[in-house]
Structure 1
Amino acid sequence: MADALSLPRLPRLPRLREDLKLLPGPSTPDGAPTWTLHDPAAHRFFRIGWSEFEILARWELGNPQTIARSISGQTTLKISPAEVMEVGSFCENAGLIQAEGDHGARRLSAGLEAKKMSAAKWLLKNYLFLRLRLLDPDRLLASLLPWVGWAFHRRFPPVLALAAAFGLYLVGRQWEHFTHTLSWAFTPAGAAATALALSLSKMAHEMGHGLAAKRFGCRVPAMGVALLVMWPVLWTDVTDAWRLTDRRQRLIIDAAGMAAEVMVAVLASLLWAVLPDGPVRSAVFLLAGSTWVLTLAVNLNPLMRFDGYFLLSDLLDEPNLQDRSFALGRWWLRERLFGFGDRPPEVLASARRSLLVGYALAIWVYRFFLFLGIALLVYHFAFKLLGLFLMMVEIGWFILRPIAAEMRVWQKRRADLRWNRNLGLSLAMLVLAVLAVAVPWSGSVSAPALLRPERQSVLYTAQPGQVIEAARAGRPVVAGETLFALKAPELEFRRRNAEIEIEGLRTRLAGISFDTDSAESVQVTWEELGKAVAELRDVVAAMDSLVTRAPFAGVVVDIPPILRSGLWMGKHDPLGILIDPATQMVEAYVAESDLDRLGLENPARFYAENGEVTIDLRVRSIDRLSTRELGVAELASKNGGAIAVREDPNNRRLIPETSLYRVLLAPDADNPPPALIRRGTVVLDAKAESPVLRLWRHAVAVLIRESNL
């Protein structure tokens, strides 16, 4: 009695709402029972364990000490009044307490005020994702359920798998034709058909979820559309599935949407394989292709709150998987960085805790790149100033704001810091990171480059013919030397005919007497002779063009490997490149942000793409005007190079996507490079600059360029 009197008197517990329902839940992996607490007003479900169930079952006792004493005396659980108070705090924060008296009214009013937000804040939170409720499908699903009972038979999944395999086999036999049909999607009719196909597949998806939930006795109170980055996405409320105790049933509901889409994709694939070419077949192709891709790439993704997430949650039997993972992830991060010594948010086996922490880290990394990609997307969708503003809002709200919130927690817990191994490692890593980004370590600039001679000539065949002589690659030649010779039987035949015709015409002229009657015949013969001579002259010129001679002294390189004596070649086929080794140089293109760090006579080094050549160089000249047209096609991205370009449709010019400046570099005179034309990278010695300063200059340059300031 003395011990009881010495305990502090705790406040009486508030009453729970009378509309709450406590339902049996599934057993945990270790066999412990669970219960599901249903809040019908908010249509939310909470999974609770044995101790929370016993506390709520005795809530009417009203006093934490009485409840704890009753549980400890009547069960094997040992509950303290503090644990009862924790459950009370949870119920109050979750809105499960009746609003009684002035305190309850103030609490309810404060909750409503906290939910209020300004129009600007509402727009900021919802322009990326806005959910709209359209209809209550519960009665419709109940009437449709008898017609689709066959889809829930245990023999249906193997049949669907066989049909899918057969459909993919038929598509695979015509795979090239299947992929070529994609071009039709970019026509106006194709775009409309694509939108219709996506709408049909998504409707089937949501109906699949709803019918599966209704099959197991759940209520489906709402269907609607959500605007995800202004793109409409259908949704179905199957929250009622949380009250199901059979995990297999919940998994079926989770997978039913994808199963419905697979059925659509299988049917569309089979139809595509048998339909004749035409708009209907193209539309069926879009339905099949979009359904297969979206089902696998989007719905199965467990890092977003789509079907893949709920499947993973039910497979692991971990309710509220994301929120609990985030809590464990934040705890793990703080412990690894500072070693606070806090207890984990919940007690789990080591393997399960590691799994949830890893899942949280994966989501954070995924979200970082996802929101960064969305920021770029909204920037390109809007005009420049609005797009730039939306991109900054996206990065600030969804990337920087959570990071800042976590750092504020670190700042508030400065008093809890104690020197330990984790804190020491974190400080050391912080110092190294600051040094890595702030100290000007980098004293070089890398740029795509091409090793080539200033004096070169590309050699082509002028006429089709058969090779009778070919130069050897790498052999020095003199000006005027024959490099390649071809023969063309057709030209030889035409020359012989022209010579015979000329000889015959001359004989005819010699035998014609000069009188009045034959004057007209002489004039015609002279005209025919002139045409024959012109034909012979053209044939001789064409035959002479079959011989390719060196326009200057140099070395022939890049001769096609198949070129040999006896090979037949067409008109304008490449024969090789004649270069002057004495004029070898390197042409490189540097970014605008690196231009001020370079100077004339700075040393540099060229590394060939295949690693066969390394050359020491000196900067000879630096252009002060950006390159408007890339004159070195070998470095263009369309040809496998490192410089991103777009092609001018009018005159086929290669235009760089970013500002680039040409730098010419010369090798040492005492160590001439080999006579080659090679693509590679040049590393130039430059003024040292810290990475953070370089990033800042680059960001400012992009900001100025994109905002047209």
Structure 2
Amino acid sequence: MNAPDIPLPPLREDLQIMRGGTSYSGEPVWVVLDPLRNRFFRVTYEMFQLLSVWNRSPTIGALNRTLNARFGRQTDAEEVGMVLRMLDVNFFLAQPASGSWRGLYDASQRRHSLFMQLIHNYLFFRIPLVRPEPFIRATWPYVSFLFSRGFLLFAALVGLAGLYLVSRQWEEFIGTFPYVFSFEGAAISLVSIVLIKSLHELGHAYVAHRHGCRVPTMGVAFMVMMPLLYTDVTEAWKLKSRRSRMAIDSAGVITELCVAAFALFLWAFIPDGPLRSAVFVLAAAGWVLSLLVNTNPFMRFDGYYMLADLLGIENLQPRAFRHMRWRLREFLFGLGYPPPEPFPPRLDAIVTVYAICTAIYRLTLYLGIALLVYHFTIKLVGVMLFAVEIGFFIIRPVWSELKEWRAMRSDIFASRRTYVTLAIVAGLAVLAAMPLSTRVSAPALILPETFVRLFAEEAGRIEEINAKRGNMVRKGDVLFVISSPTLAQERGLAEIEIDLAQQRIGRIGADAEDLAGRGVIATQLSSLVAKRDGLAQREAKLVIKAPFNGRIADMNAEIAPGQWISRKEQLAFLSADDGSVIRGYVSGNDRARIEPGSTGWFIPDDLTQPKLRVVLASVAISGAQQLEIPQLTSQFGGRIAVHASDGKRLVPIAAEYAVTARAVDERGDPAQTWRGVLLLDGRAESLLARAWRQVLKVLVREAGA
């Protein structure tokens, strides 16, 4: 049988072919609507020509004659074969090769294994809940004014007024936030978020109805078991105007912002209580979630569709990824293949940058989700789900790309660029495997070998200050004199009680009763004398003397004679002239790379201070159970991550080993403590070995957890 006599299977009669607006290049876009699945398929103009005359042409010859008469062109068996495969895969034929079109759902399910179906349903699935079309049509006349420009302007003015009113009570507004974490607050927050998200979806539905689109279903979708409401506005594809499609895309975000504007305004007038908390959640969710989540263009939320319609590129992500993969192949191998789509230069750059940013965002997001799933489920389930996340989202795309490279290996190895790329990769691998890194860093603090922080033993009033910053003092010199009226009063009362007790003893006679009472009074007298002596000793400690020869390195600039101070206020910092020491902590990963005697530098965080040549004096043989230098911990702005345990001990998150170093060419004693970092010369190690050790450490830790 000749090719022109080959019969063509008919298309389904329910399919609709329509104009779908224009693309980024201004060319017309054609779409095919499958009403059974409510799905739209974008086709080229040439495909539209074939499909529009397909059912009028029983054979290829008849198809060519009709094409020539209507569009002035002809087709061939190769093009028809490609079209037939597309029609069969998408169930467009009245009698597809896989069976009757009535079984297309079963056929589509059989295309994937049970395992892949389970994975897909775990990662993402939808549950339609309602068919809102009758409700939307019935209520549209009553809510249409909410979608007018005048109302949007009014909402914007109300939002600005709300921002002004809340700014006058900002501390009180922020103070509402902790209530959200209570049981009642969590319940109110949940109801408020469900309400505002429902209004978000209704916003999409009403604007779609306004532009003549049908809304077949609304329901809930689950993305990695996280529930999200959704509205099916697939019919927006049939709109020719990109502006109309963008109005539908942005309707949910605009609805939430309007709700947030009114909630913000009302919050300023509602008294404290559950209603005010609900309004607070509506305002916060509307502003924060809409702007940070819904406008995110890297996931398929509203922001993605807004960007796609703005650029005029339907199915933006798959087309952008396809373009990025082509760019990657050309960069690595220089194959000279034509691009999958010839974008204009400016749009080419936008699509490429978008694809790269999306890939980075998705990699970070999916790794985060995988770790959360692993840590918040039982270990066996966590490992399985972690593997599913990593395999499906990260390994699977990489494997698919490697298969593409394998298919074009003959062209790849015929290109000079390939060998340049291989040489660069090999060079980087060699560098990663070579033990080049000899530098070990350790957060550290430099301080005098002998020093003391001077505090008052008792709260009191400063009477004398005999010290100044930079002064040299000798052991025993009086630096501060502090008086405590409370101690003086208690000592005075003790003196009076002692005098009375002594007088009573002096008047005691020689009879038996007097002699018996004398022992009691003598005991009381001894107790009073001890109390007076103790108070005198406490008063003597209020005269603060230098405990050793040294220099006043720092003074509290806020103290003055006559001022009252507490026991927690530091008066001065006294350091001896016997050198300085650097104390810090080295990570457990680097402990084996250094030994006492290693040399290096101490680099202060304050760049105005000089760096110091140091030699390592000692390294702890076991990890620190708690850190003794608070300035180096994350809770005090340092580099070492810690958590405060019982008793407020600063316990390191990872293994940390204490180190001590001494300055070799010290330029005078430090005027005060400086925070910085020790850079020590250690045993050379490659990046590859370091990464492998980290992997082994994680595996061992998790295996024993």
TM-score normalized by structure 2? 0.88
Match of 2:357 among 353, 358, 362: 362
Match of 2:88 among 79, 85, 92: 92
Shift of 1:92: 3.4
Distance 1:24 1:670, change over 3 A: closer
Shift of 1:219: 1.6
Distance 1:670 1:615, change over 3 A: closer
| Mean CA deviation greater in 683-692 or 559-568 | 559-568
Match of 1:699 among 669, 691, 695: 695
Shift of 1:330: 1.4
Please give the per-residue CA displacement for 1:324-364, whole angstroms capped at 9, x wherever unaligned: 11221111111111111111112322212222122111111
Corresponding residue of 1:352: 347
What SS is found at the alignment partner of 2:556? coil
Distance 1:537 1:346, change over 3 A: same
Match of 1:679 among 659, 675, 679: 675
What SS is found at the alignment partner of 1:25? strand
2: distance between equivalents of 1:355 and 1:502?
91
User: Is the CA contact (8 Å cut-off) linking 2:462 and 2:565 kept in structure 1?
Assistant: yes
Corresponding residue of 1:620: 617
Shift of 1:497: 6.9
Shift of 1:661: 1.5
2: distance between equivalents of 1:189 and 1:161?
31
User: Is the CA contact (8 Å cut-off) linking 2:612 and 2:666 kept in structure 1?
Assistant: no
| Mean CA deviation greater in 130-139 or 366-375 | 130-139
Amino acid at match of 2:648: R
2: distance between equivalents of 1:260 and 1:486?
66
Distance 1:39 1:578, change over 3 A: same
Residue 393, structure 1, aligned to residue 397, structure 2: no
Distance 1:389 1:559, change over 3 A: farther
What are the residue-to-residue correspondences of 1:27-38 with 2, within 5 Å? 27-28=22-23, 31-38=26-33
2: distance between equivalents of 1:447 and 1:504?
63
What are the residue-to-residue correspondences of 1:48-447 with 2, within 5 Å? 48-59=43-54, 60-61=56-57, 67=63, 71=67, 75=71, 85-99=81-95, 112=108, 114-118=110-114, 120-417=115-412, 422-423=417-418, 425-447=420-442
Distance 1:625 1:181, change over 3 A: same
Shift of 1:368: 0.7
Corresponding residue of 1:654: 650
Match of 1:638 among 628, 635, 638: 635
Shift of 1:442: 0.9
2: distance between equivalents of 1:652 and 1:31?
67
Amino acid at match of 1:479: K
2: distance between equivalents of 1:435 and 1:609?
34
User: Is the CA contact (8 Å cut-off) linking 2:586 and 2:657 kept in structure 1?
Assistant: yes
Distance 1:481 1:68, change over 3 A: farther
Residue 561, structure 1, aligned to residue 557, structure 2: yes
Shift of 1:112: 4.0
Distance 1:11 1:677, change over 3 A: farther
Distance 1:340 1:101, change over 3 A: closer
Please give the per-residue CA displacement for 1:84-134, whole angstroms capped at 9, x wherever unaligned: 5544443333332333578999x979954752322x433333323332222
Please give the per-residue CA displacement for 1:161-215, whole angstroms capped at 9, x wherever unaligned: 1111112222222111111111111111122222111111111111111122222
1: distance between equivalents of 2:437 and 2:657?
20
Distance 1:92 1:673, change over 3 A: farther
Distance 1:449 1:101, change over 3 A: closer
Corresponding residue of 1:4: none
User: Is the CA contact (8 Å cut-off) linking 2:335 and 2:415 kept in structure 1?
Assistant: no
2: distance between equivalents of 1:526 and 1:394?
84
2: distance between equivalents of 1:681 and 1:151?
60
Corresponding residue of 1:482: 478
2: distance between equivalents of 1:340 and 1:525?
109
Amino acid at match of 2:95: A
Corresponding residue of 2:596: 600
Distance 1:79 1:643, change over 3 A: same
Amino acid at match of 1:640: G
Amino acid at match of 2:276: R
Amino acid at match of 1:637: S
Distance 1:315 1:77, change over 3 A: farther
Amino acid at match of 1:552: F
Corresponding residue of 2:544: 548
Match of 1:461 among 440, 456, 460: 456
Shift of 1:502: 9.7
Shift of 1:38: 0.8
What SS is found at the alignment partner of 2:251? helix
Distance 1:30 1:685, change over 3 A: closer
